[in-house]
Structure 1
Amino acid sequence: MKRRLNILCAIVLLVMGWSVGVSLYYMGLGMTKGVQMGMDAAREMMEEGNSVKLDEVSNMQAVSLFPKFLGEWERELFTDSIRNEKTGRYVPMAYSNLMVSVPVETPAWQKVASSVMGFLVLVANVWALVLFIRIVVSVNRSDIFNWRNVRRLRRLGILLIVGFVCVLLSEYMALCNLREAFALEAYDLALPDSVKVTNLLLGLISLIVAEVFAIGLKMKEEQDLTI
């Protein structure tokens, strides 16, 4: 039974490591491409004597879209078309994500708040990973049902929920600012994929498991007192 639990814990760690690794890879790739595009735009600006391309690069925004209800099923889901290279014909489609160059006014307090929340998300994720590893080590030592693990599970749940709330607030503020400067006829702007309800669900499950452990420990203590 312990071997099976160790395998499941190892799979969870691998999935978490893969998720973090993919996020870091795309973050690094985006930063690298952004720096490269900025350098190219700056070079062209110096050569041509204008700042249009530099402004276009600095104002790039990632936009998540959701088709509006337009009265007809086909128009609701397929508001655009794209060429199928296999057949040479245009097929209906709808966008879900875009990269656009739009100047967005962000107040200074929102920039500070977003930076603080980003730091909190990083700390919460690292701390949650450390707590999960400690729980796994405790399980391997056959020291499972104790108040230390109850506290760890509670902290793990709170950290996951805090991370979700910070990401949600940061992305919602960015979405509100973007809606002030950008709109499309056939689409609504939506929250990006970085806002994952999975973290909230895992946090709630962790709190529930912690309370189950706590109830079991209290019952055990009461039985020991009666004996």
Structure 2
Amino acid sequence: MKKRLNLICLGIVLAVLVSMSFLFSTFYYGFKAGIDAYEQGAAGVEKLDVTYKMIGTMPTDVITNETATAINEKDGSTVSILPFISMIGVPNEKADATDSIFLSLLDWMVMICCIYAIVQFVKMIRNIHRNIIFDWANVKRLRRLGFSLILSFCCSLVTFAINNHLVSQAISLKDCDFSIAFQFSDPTLLIGFTALLFAEIFAIGLKMKEENDLTI
């Protein structure tokens, strides 16, 4: 039974890490791009006068869409790409520094929430391995896990919404509308509400157990 529990817990951890891998990779490449730009500026290398922002889009014409293209290195042909989540360069003169600071704070909030959620999950699994299962401490950890994941999703959604608004003020994309709809495919929101559901199930079970103990 413990072996099956370990496999389930491992699967949950992997699912959470996979769902957050996109976040961590974009954070890493964004941080690396900032360092590279600083080093190039210090070395006197001319850099592009743009700020990259992550946006969500929804193609309006799937058949003849030419919003984005890439080169097929196998035969040198050009292939069309339907962008749903993209990094787009906005001229620096149209990028607001205040917005950038606020967006950076949101990114850090997402990172902190995700790490906090993982810590709560690990602590709960540690209790389960110690045969401490139906306990109020686990209920609290499940609630913290759920709320932190939901907050992480909300911060990420707000980031996309702000970026979409800022970019739409400076850029208009052919055959494409700015949209945050694709962001709802992120499983973080579902995992968060599932954790809250299990927290309430645990809480109901504990209350029933306490009532039964009092009647005996």
The aligned residue for residue 128 of structure 1 is: 117
The counterpart of 1:202, out of the listed 182, 191, 195, is 191
Structure 2 residue 6 is the aligned partner of structure 1 residue 6: yes
1:68 to 52, 60, 71: 60
SS in 1 for 2:63: helix
* Aligned-pair CA distance for 1:139: 0.5
Q: CA deviation at 1:18?
A: 6.3
Q: What is the CA distance between 1:107 and its match in structure 2?
A: 6.2
User: Given the two structures, how large is their TM-score scaled by the length of structure 1?
Assistant: 0.75
Greater radius of gyration (CA): 1
Q: 1:218 aligns with which of 190, 193, 207?
A: 207
In the TM superposition, what are the counterparts of 1:85-104 in structure 2 within 5 Å? 85-86=73-74, 93-96=80-83, 97=86, 99-103=88-92, 104=94
**1:128, 1:160 within 8 Å by CA — same for their partners in 2?**
yes
SS in structure 2 at match of 1:145: coil
**Structure 1 counterpart SS, 2:36:** helix
CA distance in 1, matches of 2:26, 2:102: 23
Structure 1 gap ranges (5+) = 46-52
For residues 165 and 2 of structure 1, do their structure 2 counterparts lie closer, same or farther at Cα, with a shift above 3 Å needed? same
Higher relative contact order (CA 8 A, sep 6+): 2
Structure 2 equivalent of residue 48 of structure 1: none
Please say which of residues 94-103 and 11-20 is displaced more in the overlay.
11-20
Within 2, Cα distance between the matches of 1:168 and 1:161?
Answer: 10
Gaps of 5+ in 2: none
Distance in structure 1 (CA, Å) of the matches to 2:106 and 2:141: 23
Provide closer, same or farther for how the CA distance between residues 83 and 193 of structure 1 changes in structure 2, counting only shifts above 3 A: same
Contact 1:81–1:94 at 8 Å: present in 2 too? yes
1:23-42 alignment runs, 5 A limit: 23-24=23-24, 27-37=27-37, 39-40=39-40
